[in-house]
Amino acid sequence: QVQLVESGGGLVQPGGSLRLSCAASGIIFSINDMGWYRQAPGKERELVAVITRGGFTNYADSVKGRFTVSRDNGKNTVNLQMGSLKPEDTAVYYCNAVDVIGLRARYTALWGQGTLVTVSS
């Protein structure tokens, strides 16, 4: 069974930086897109950043120039480097993987359990 495990959330002051990591566990042959979504209290889940297997990226307008998404296809990991953080970045951040081919199953989409990022002084 393939799972996504996130790490790196926490409390950070406005203007600070934080790095989120996500690793896909299990025997995996390939993963298409990987990325990050977030959900703030009382709001819908929204896309933060996505990166294709070939390395093409797409960002939400609200994080362009501040966040950088990267991945390691060999390790099946995706990272989100967040900088110049603002209070409005406070949310639970979810790792996402699309079209995951594992040893025993193919998954249309997988989600991590979520990691809380709080930006506050």
Q: 100: which residues sit within 8 A by CB, 6+ positions away? A: 2, 24, 28, 30, 31, 32, 106, 107, 109, 110
What is the average pLDDT across 39-52? 96
The 10s digit of each residue's pLDDT in 57-108 is 999 999 999 999 999 999 999 999 999 999 999 999 999 999 999 988 889 9
Tens digit of each residue's pLDDT (9 = 90 or more) over 3-13: 999 999 999 99
Q: What gap in Å lies between CA 49 and CA 96, rounded to an integer?
A: 10
Decide the pairing of beta strands 115-119 and 10-12: parallel
Return the pLDDT at 1: 86
12: Cα separation from own chain's centroid: 17
